Amino acid sequence: EKQRSILLDSSSRFPPPPGVKLSYGTSGFRADASILQSTVFRVGILAALRSLKTQSVIGLMITASHNDVSDNGVKIADPSGGMLSQAWEPFADALANAPDSLHLVQLVDDFVRKENIPFEGLESAEILLGRDTRPSGESLLEAAKKGINSIVGAVAVDMGVLTTPQLHWMVRARNKGMKATELDYFDQLSSSFSKLIDLIPHGNIVNTMDKLIVDGANGVGGEKLVVFKKVLQFLDLEIRNSGKEGVLNEEVGADYVQKEKVVPRGFAPADAGMRCASLDGDADRLVYFSVIPNADNRICLIDGDKILSLFALFIMEQLSILNQNECGGENNSYPATLGVVQTAYANGASTDYLKHLGLEVVFTPTGVKYLHEKAAEYDIGIYFEANGHGTILLSEGLLHWLDGRSSKPSLTSKGSEQQKAALRLLAVSKLINQAVGDALSGLLLVEAILQHMGWSIHRWSELYHDLPSRQLKVKVVDRSAVVTENAETVVVRPLGIQEAINAETAKYPQGRCFIRPSGTEDVVRVYAEASTEEAAVNLANSVARLVD
Ligand code: 16G
Ligand code: ZN
């Protein structure tokens, strides 16, 4: 009863914006920041209930990633550090769209009963809050706190300005009983990075490499990197667009660089030949690029697919060392399964390349929650979206076995190649974020592997050549009219459209094309790929006309 009146009272202070229907999409709720107070308040309630239900620490992140600075958004991190369980998304939608506080209290009441959420006011709940650098973040964070505080026993812990992956990492660490401050995060990343550098085979340290220039998207990632740089060894970093210079995501950042394939602001022809990287607005995406000399600001893009390929090569190398039989006798190898996960946006050339390496490549729909879930089925699962979001997941079983390999001299002689390979994989598991894709940790792993291989950005870029591709978006009244199957490669509704797409695609050598409803905007997206730039553009245009 007391709970009911607190909830009624506090929610009446956060009326929903009239005439807006929000849905918890692939990246939580996202909209113009000015209409989000009520939504964020309600997600605070949701986070508290999730924490009560799971009896674990939950995360709440306020960010709109690569979107305009005037937008914002909110999403939940589950106890594992991953995305909110999909089973709770319908409740999130209902809660966000409840027309008034009476309906809201009723919804909560029903849901608590249905989900058997312990709700005597005796249990405690803890929610870690984070936000990116958007100016609207501060007051939205207050709204989240109010939502959390309206659930008896729930405590909000404000972690301040963070990258999205930092918050996910902290939630995961807390639930494993580990320390989880930003300092702990930086410590773990920098020590595992140093470990990988220590383990570089002699002879490869040809290039105490030239510096890396990072575009921080004028957001939280750039800001954090400036702090991190002070404790980071073995890496020469120059950070641009770290926040002071310009507007968040405005002609800067990983999304811009990957979609437009031009240099971000703050970069110039004089940077030609340098190794450059770009983070997105909340630092969960990473792409690399180099500026092409005398080419009108065009770049040579190294996207998520190529980062995935680099990671896969390194992991395969370590697994193959581990499987070499030192003594020629008994085979102690662990039958580790290795799989890579992509989406339909992966460049066809990357998929071919990975398959030629003998890797198992599987596809899921767009959205981290799908890729992550699939990758977790392997002992080592590597997933990446072409846009630069991805990570490597290593199973507990494998880590345990590697621990044995690296510490028991009876299994591998100390200082042996096998021991080093085991130590490398263990370091990777500490460096690369196990909760979610993380541009800062991804960047360090790329840098460590390039040094390990003794590779320049050019050598890396030459692993394979991307097929020309083109992306378009078509504004539609109702994007849900487009329904896809088979990891978004086949349209099943509207009827007949897939046949028409097939007919268009067949006209182009190496043609491939698909359409899908966006999960974040009211548009249908078109992706086309073909043997030439012109063909890719033509294919995309003609398929876009089919959608219109
Ligand atoms: C969200 C997704 C991202 C995906 C993008 C696609 C997460 C955390 N983020 O940003 O993975 O690539 O949406 O956007 O899942 P779209 O549906 O508008 O094309
Ligand atoms: Zn992002």
Q: Which residues contact 115 (CB under 8 A, 6 or more apart)?
A: 49, 53
Is the Cβ–Cβ distance between 339 and 319 less than 8 Å?
no
Ligand 1 pocket, residue 372 CB under 6 Å? no
β-partners of residue 161 are 131
- The whole-angstrom separation of Cα 490 and Cα 498 is 7
Which ligand is located closest to the Cα atom of residue 248?
2
Considering the domain boundaries, does residue 505 fall inside one? yes
pLDDT tens per residue, the chain (548 residues)? 789 999 999 999 999 999 999 999 888 999 999 999 999 999 999 999 999 999 999 999 999 999 999 999 999 999 999 999 999 999 999 999 999 999 999 999 999 999 999 887 677 899 999 999 999 999 999 999 999 999 999 999 999 999 999 999 999 999 999 999 999 999 999 999 999 999 998 766 555 568 999 999 999 999 999 999 999 999 999 999 998 779 999 999 999 999 999 999 999 999 998 999 999 999 999 999 999 998 899 999 999 999 999 999 999 999 999 988 655 444 567 789 999 999 999 999 999 999 999 999 999 999 999 999 999 999 999 999 999 999 999 999 999 999 988 886 555 566 789 999 999 999 999 999 999 999 999 999 999 999 999 999 999 999 999 999 999 999 998 999 999 999 999 999 999 999 999 999 999 999 999 999 998 888 999 999 999 999 999 999 999 999 98
Which ligand is located closest to the Cα atom of residue 286?
2
Ligand 1 pocket, residue 471 CB under 6 Å? no
- The whole-angstrom separation of Cα 174 and Cα 146 is 23
- The whole-angstrom separation of Cα 209 and Cα 275 is 10
Q: Are residues 21 and 94 in the same domain?
A: yes
Question: For position 329, what pLDDT does the model report?
Answer: 46
Q: Are residues 13 and 96 in the same domain?
A: yes
CA atoms within 13 A on the CB side of 500: 15
- Local structure of 56: helix, strand or coil: coil
- The whole-angstrom separation of Cα 388 and Cα 83 is 17
- The whole-angstrom separation of Cα 413 and Cα 405 is 9
- Local structure of 76: helix, strand or coil: strand
Q: Are residues 499 and 380 in the same domain?
A: no
- Which residue has the CA at smallest separation from atom 4 of ligand 1? 367
Which ligand is located closest to the Cα atom of residue 521?
1
User: Is 542 in the active site?
Assistant: no
Ligand 1 pocket, residue 366 CB under 6 Å? yes
Which of 449, 429, 456 is closest to 310 using CA atoms?
Answer: 449
Name the DSSP class of 488: T
State the CATH number of the domain containing residue 413.
3.40.120
Question: For position 210, what pLDDT does the model report?
Answer: 87
Q: Strands 125-131 and 57-62, how do they pair?
A: parallel
Q: Are residues 503 and 360 in the same domain?
A: no
- Local structure of 256: helix, strand or coil: helix
Q: Strands 338-342 and 380-384, how do they pair?
A: parallel
Considering the domain boundaries, does residue 72 fall inside one? yes
Considering the domain boundaries, does residue 246 fall inside one? no
Q: Are residues 385 and 490 in the same domain?
A: no
Domain count, the chain: 3
Ligand 1 pocket, residue 519 CB under 6 Å? yes
Q: Which residues form the domain of 123?
A: 2-161
Q: Are residues 362 and 484 in the same domain?
A: no
Residue 289 to residues 206, 234, 271, 329, 510, Cα–Cα distance (Å): 22, 21, 11, 46, 25
Q: Are residues 421 and 489 in the same domain?
A: no
Considering the domain boundaries, does residue 503 fall inside one? yes
Between the CA of 47 and the centroid of ligand 2 the distance, in Å, is 20
Q: Are residues 7 and 122 in the same domain?
A: yes
- The whole-angstrom separation of Cα 289 and Cα 287 is 7
Q: Are residues 355 and 420 in the same domain?
A: yes
Q: Are residues 423 and 504 in the same domain?
A: no
Considering the domain boundaries, does residue 192 fall inside one? no
**Which tokens hold the place of 47?**
């986070």
Q: Are residues 332 and 477 in the same domain?
A: no
Residue 266 — left, alpha, or beta (φ > 0 → left; ψ -120 to 50 → alpha)?
left
Residue 220 to residues 131, 197, 292, Cα–Cα distance (Å): 9, 27, 28
Which of 392, 390, 385 is closest to 350 using CA atoms?
Answer: 385
Q: Where are the beta strands (DSSP E) in 26-184?
A: 29-32, 57-62, 71-77, 125-131, 154-161
Question: For position 64, what pLDDT does the model report?
Answer: 97
Q: Which of 137, 161, 185 is the last residue of a domain?
A: 161
Q: Which of 384, 412, 435 is the last residue of a domain?
A: 435
Residue 32 to residues 22, 35, 46, 480, Cα–Cα distance (Å): 11, 6, 21, 21
β-partners of residue 77 are 59, 83
Between the CA of 375 and the centroid of ligand 1 the distance, in Å, is 17
Q: Which of 161, 187, 212 is the last residue of a domain?
A: 161
Considering the domain boundaries, does residue 267 fall inside one? no
Between the CA of 519 and the centroid of ligand 1 the distance, in Å, is 7
Name the DSSP class of 88: G
Give phi and psi for 428, each to the nearest 5: -60, -40
Ligand 1 pocket, residue 347 CB under 6 Å? no
Considering the domain boundaries, does residue 440 fall inside one? no
Question: For position 410, what pLDDT does the model report?
Answer: 58
ipTM: 0.98
State the CATH number of the domain containing residue 513.
3.30.310.50
- The whole-angstrom separation of Cα 252 and Cα 375 is 30
- The whole-angstrom separation of Cα 221 and Cα 213 is 13
- The whole-angstrom separation of Cα 442 and Cα 532 is 31
- The whole-angstrom separation of Cα 55 and Cα 62 is 22
Q: Spot the catalytic one: 10, 27, 38, 65.
A: 65
Considering the domain boundaries, does residue 461 fall inside one? no
Q: Are residues 409 and 528 in the same domain?
A: no
- Which residue has the CA at smallest separation from atom 2 of ligand 1? 367
Question: For position 311, what pLDDT does the model report?
Answer: 98
Is the Cβ–Cβ distance between 319 and 361 less than 8 Å?
no
Ligand 1 pocket, residue 521 CB under 6 Å? yes
